[in-house]
A and B are shown apart, each in its own frame.
Chain A
Amino acid sequence: MAAHLSYGRVNLNVLREAVRRELREFLDKCAGSKAIVWDEYLTGPFGLIAQYSLLKEHEVEKMFTLKGSRLPAADVKNIIFFVRPRLELMDIIAENVLSEDRRGPARDFHILFVPRRSLLCEQRLKDLGVLGSFIHREEYSLDLIPFDGDLLSMESEGAFKECYLESDQTSLYHAAKGLMTLQALYGTIPQIFGKGECARQVANMMIRMKREFTGSQNSVFPVFDNLLLLDRNVDLLTPLATQLTYEGLIDEIYGIQNSYVKLPPEKFAPKKQGDGGKDLPTEAKKLQLNSAEELYAEIRDKNFNAVGSVLSKKAKVISAAFEERHNAKTVGEIKQFVSQLPHMQAARGSLANHTSIAELIKDVTTSEDFFDKLTVEQEFMSGIDTDKVNGYIEDCIAQKHSLIKVLRLVCLQSVCNSGLKQKVLDYYKREILQTYGYEHILTLHNLEKAGLLKPQIGGRNNYPTIRKTCASGWMTVMVKNPTDISYVYSGYAPLSVRLAQLLSRPGWRSIEEVLRILPGPHFEERQPLPTGLQKKRQPGENRVTLIFFLGGVTFAEVAALRFLSQLEDGGTEYVIATTKLMNGATWIESLMEKPV
């Protein structure tokens, strides 16, 4: 069912199974027929670990989304709320429960907090007079959700804001807990590296948690050789730039959520076969994107420029395969051909889908505005004119392009210049407030607090130093047959990934100067292993590094890390974990102050 999770170097199906087991266990606690009331946000992440069939096996008969007033009628014994620990959700639950009590047969109510029970929420339920109505109040620690064979995410959208704006460590605590779970399943990770304030804290929590547990050593043979914890604010630049890999662009343009993307249906209008035929043309086409799909696994991490040629090659291969039928003469040959048909049909469907997606994306990437935006981004990343008011940004504001787009560009300029000159900053601020409304002053403050938009202090621009030392600035690359990670941004090598690369070879000692410029401490910790578990590496065997992005990671960065994993002489394979899969737009959005 989730075979693609086990393709990687580390079998993440083990984690998925463990999480599923726990879900079943909870469901069995509530005997009898059940209805689940979902916090809508959770349905996405849950979809990655369980299908409805699993729930059905455990007598879940109805599913609703959490809404105000009454619950829909359902003839079940148990009503279970699956919710995040949020105060506003508690109010809705209370409304549901109170209106339910007044009519009909008594039900048993239960509540499952994901990922954590919250005393604050339970207090709110108590205030509303319904706490006693719940028989089971439990937590389901769905900390790290396996997305792909090498990718885990906590899908916690507020993590960056909590960590870097509000200094709330709760999501770091969850990250640490998630890491402990991983260690329980995959063995103690002998070496921990980190850079940044949050990384330091997570490492501290892990060490403390380990100390707190009694008993002897973890006797699982370690799968991971080391762990690298990276703060997002060590590299604020990368997510702001437009991703140029295939998957990155899908995410930038249409938004990938929990590995699903919704696409405009026109391009998928009824074709001969495949999944496209059934959908109503008015409804968005929903596709799941992961490495279970052979073609997608091949093209997802490529620069978009290289996608077209792969698709056309595939098309030729498939047509050739279908042509084979003319050569099939004997019964045996025909039988063989027929046995391959399903596979070929699937390949054709997948090719059709991705050709359509590529066309949709091409429409955007060939537009003049996209070109202009990219040009400005690349100028900034090359350090050109970062200290002046930019004409294109001005135009965007004047034409009232989306505020997120404008903020993203202004922040990019600020980061590339280690802060803007006061005059430039004031100008942008005024323009933005006048065009989009004064209340955005709060958003601007949030961005400033997060270090994304700030005045330059001391008139010193550190960005060129970083760019030179880490070769992470803009440079010429081959996007079709890349030799360096910078292909993912068509020339800009993400600093975060470069740090990982330099850590594995030749080591961080070579870039001490840069590490000093970047915020937060860098450190190394060792978790001693008993002699029996120490690994003796075979010559030529790659190390496995778990890299954890605290505050989010983009698909382009993931692509760059996969590229490193596949390098023949790379020596390191990566498994990537993060608090949230994101892009510049969703990131900025999470920092915006919304009207109540």
Chain B
Amino acid sequence: MNRTKVDEEEYWNSSKFKAFTFDDEDDELSQLKESKRAVNSLRDFVDDDDDDDLERVSWTGEPVGSISWSIKETAGNSGSNHEGREQLKSRNSFSYAQLPKPTSTYSLSSFFRGRTRLGSFQSLSDALSDTPAKSYAPELGRPKGEFRDYSNDWSPSDTVRRLRKGKVCSLERFRSLQDKLQLLEEAISMHDGNVITAVLIFLKRTLSKEVLFRELEVRQVALRHLIHFLKEIGDQKLLLDLFRFLDRTEELALSHYREHLSIQDPEKRKEFLKNCIGLPFSVEDSAHIQDHYTLLERQIIIEANDRHLESAGQTEIFRKHPRKASILNMPLVTTSSTPASTTTQSPRYRQHGKDPTHSHCTEERSSKSGTFSSPVNLKKTFKIPDKQYVLTALAARAKLRAWHDVDALFTTKNWLGYTKKRAPIGFHRVVEILHKNNAPVQILQEYVNLVEDVDTKLNLATKFKCHDVVIDTCRDLKDRQQLLSYRSKVDKGSAEEEKIDAILSSTVSRAATPPQPRETDSSQSSIKCIKGKPGDLQLRLNCNCSENY
């Protein structure tokens, strides 16, 4: 931060003297060209002389391109090539000599700036469009101010114009506050962010913070540019001061908080977040920030513990499921679903933890960190909603193939001691997640059976090849036809086939009732269709165009 500030000062301090480095030699050349063109473009109004002669006269009365003109132009900047540019000098002058005289054909920018050479333009317009020959854009001609480029005493508006053209230009002349503000106003009215920023840098350097802030408060456009600029160069300190001055406390807090993104070291990040907690966030946000801190704090403890366990090689769980990445800075939900945290059994899990691996883990991890990293604990601390918790825990347990835990997740006991299965996310979703984690058919079957909606159940069972469920369901529905068609899908001579045959033969008499027509596809989705307009929906959503080709 300090560095940039110093450098800026250097830049603007020195710009006055260095305004004429090589760049400006080039500049001179282009100015030469520009004025020549300007004069040429004036020709049209002055006379009809078509000679392309260089002996044109500039506004100041000197013939453009004459030696005296060049000297006058360079005089203001003489003695500028000091400060370590020596080594470049030779090369610069070399290339200067090498520079070709720019062929002043028509170009977009020259056109835009009105420095058109009539002759070359004609060819373009002839070639490309039917626009009349005199179709250059005099209304886009040179701004008046530019003709006085060579005077030393630029008005604020001329200075701003110069800056806008990307020319180095000293602002040091503007000493009084009034001058500076006028300069700023001028830049603002130009709407050019580049120039506004340039002026702001100058003001930032030459005005006291208080004055700068006060004046910007009434100039919102410039203020926004300064904020943007400070963010860009990373001058966090001044930015925070500014927000404080403006009493924009929430922005202040957020802007401060943003800094944590660039802190890599977890301990430092943690400390930084700790400091953020007290900042004036909105009520909801401050709760989130607090959570962010707490989470990282725990992640650090868990990480250290896991690493220790992993390196010791004691824990089977890590051998089976090596940690892919550090847990640090992971989102909360990911944190509560990594093997490390989920292996730590909550008391509730322990009752069911008959699996040797888990009992082992449980014993291993009854330390302080264990209680921190248990999902149930995380759930409580961070108020994770039920649904989200179940989904996360389910996926994590399934990955570990801990089917008992999965079972426990959905088992609720009522006060009479009866157990009941309940899933806040719906069992169809449970089945899908289990399937994604390669659960065996026996397990899938158990949960498919718990799906309440018959159609959905049948679909899922078919999709995941839970033959028994399909067969039983068809039997219960007395859907002979579907059973028949399903027979072709099971393996020849398998137990399933036998079962189907048995049912078919035993129900011959009862199967007289015609099977109910049933939608087999996307029954779920069609429920979700917009009420009352199934036909339209079909029309709108039927993206199936395969039959067309």
Contacts and interface: CB of A to CB of B under 8 A. Distances in A.
Interface in B259-305: 260-262, 284-285, 288-289, 291-292, 295
B108 A22 contact: yes
A123 interface: yes
A401 to B, nearest CB: 12
Nearest to A593: B258
Contact of A31 (B22, B100, B254, B291): B100
Contact of B228 (A166, A311, A442): A166
B543 A304 contact: yes
A112 B113 CA distance: 18
Interface centre among A176, A309, A400 (most CB of B within 10 A): A400
7 closest A-B pairs by CB: A308-B545, A308-B548, A170-B193, A215-B138, A438-B292, A215-B141, A365-B543
Interface residues of B, number: 112
Nearest to A143: B108
Given A120-B197, A169-B191, A439-B261, A362 B229 contact: no
A169 B382 contact: no
B135 interface: yes
A308 B545 CA distance: 5
Nearest to B547: A308
Given A141-B109, A375-B525, A214 B142 contact: yes
A217 B530 contact: no
Given A132-B88, A218-B140, A375-B530, 12 more contacts: A18-B107, A22-B108, A132-B21, A169-B191, A209-B140, A219-B132, A372-B525, A431-B385, A437-B330, A439-B260, A441-B257, A491-B540
Contacts of B258: 442, 593
29 contacts: A14-B129, A28-B103, A108-B95, A118-B194, A119-B197, A132-B23, A134-B23, A137-B166, A141-B108, A166-B227, A168-B228, A169-B191, A173-B192, A180-B112, A188-B139, A209-B140, A213-B139, A219-B132, A220-B135, A309-B545, A355-B549, A378-B530, A399-B391, A430-B383, A434-B291, A437-B331, A476-B539, A491-B536, A595-B262
B143 interface: yes
A139 interface: yes
Interface string A20-43: 011001001101000000000000
Interface in B418-455: 425, 429
Nearest to A425: B284
A486 to B, nearest CB: 10
A102 to B, nearest CB: 13
Given A219-B132, A431-B388, A213 B191 contact: no
A276 B269 CA distance: 51
Contacts of B529: 375
B92 interface: yes
Interface in B138-164: 138-144, 163
A394 interface: yes
A28 B100 contact: yes
Interface residues of A, number: 115
Interface string B519-549: 0001001001111010011011111111111
B210 interface: no
A127 interface: yes
Contact of A382 (B26, B224, B254, B530): B530
A371 B233 CA distance: 46
Interface stretch (B4-12, B408-416, B472-480): B4-12
A502 B543 CA distance: 31
B540 A490 contact: yes
A215 B139 contact: yes
Interface string B243-264: 0000000000010011011100
A133 B191 CA distance: 31
B541 A133 contact: no
Interface string A420-433: 00000010011101
Nearest to A594: B261
A119 B548 contact: no
Given A214-B142, A479-B540, A139 B166 contact: yes
Contact of B191 (A28, A119, A205, A426): A205
Contacts of B140: 180, 183-184, 209-210, 213, 215, 218
B88 A133 contact: yes
Interface in A475-512: 476-477, 479, 490-491
A218 B137 contact: yes
**Chief secondary structure at chain B's binding surface:** helix
B105 to A, nearest CB: 6
B499 interface: no
A19 B108 contact: yes
Contacts of A156: none
Contact of A374 (B8, B201, B541): B541
B11 A123 contact: yes
A305 B105 contact: no
Interface in A367-416: 368, 370-372, 374-375, 378-379, 382, 384, 394-395, 397-400
Interface centre among B8, B195, B258, B548 (most CB of A within 10 A): B548
A216 B543 contact: no
Interface centre among B4, B128, B285 (most CB of A within 10 A): B128
A14 B128 contact: yes
Interface of B: 4, 7-8, 11, 21-23, 26, 41, 45, 85, 88, 91-92, 95, 98-100, 102-103, 105-112, 114, 124, 128-129, 131-132, 134-135, 137-144, 163, 166, 189, 191-195, 197-198, 201, 220-221, 224-225, 227-229, 232-233, 254, 257-258, 260-262, 284-285, 288-289, 291-292, 295, 329-333, 382-385, 387-388, 391-392, 425, 429, 522, 525, 528-531, 533, 536-537, 539-549
Contacts of B26: 135-136
Contacts of A13: 128
Contacts of A237: none
A214 B134 contact: no
B10 to A, nearest CB: 8
Nearest to A78: B95
A436 B262 CA distance: 18
Nearest to A440: B331
Given A372-B525, A384-B530, A214 B546 contact: no
A11 interface: yes
Interface string A115-133: 0111110010011000111
A464 B383 CA distance: 35
B229 A434 contact: no
B107 A21 contact: yes
Nearest to B89: A132
Interface centre among B102, B109, B330 (most CB of A within 10 A): B109
A371 B543 CA distance: 9
A362 B549 CA distance: 12
B11 A126 contact: yes
A103 B224 CA distance: 44
B85 A31 contact: no
Nearest to A32: B98
Interface in A550-596: 593, 595-596
Interface in A82-125: 85, 87, 106, 108, 116-120, 123
B107 A22 contact: yes
A542 interface: no
A379 B527 CA distance: 13
A315 interface: yes
Contacts of A218: 137-140
A180 B544 CA distance: 47
A89 to B, nearest CB: 13
A283 interface: no
Contact of B285 (A11, A215, A435, A441): A441
Nearest to A210: B139
Contacts of A22: 107-110
A531 interface: no
Nearest to A214: B141
A169 B201 CA distance: 17
A596 B258 CA distance: 10
Contacts of A214: 141-144
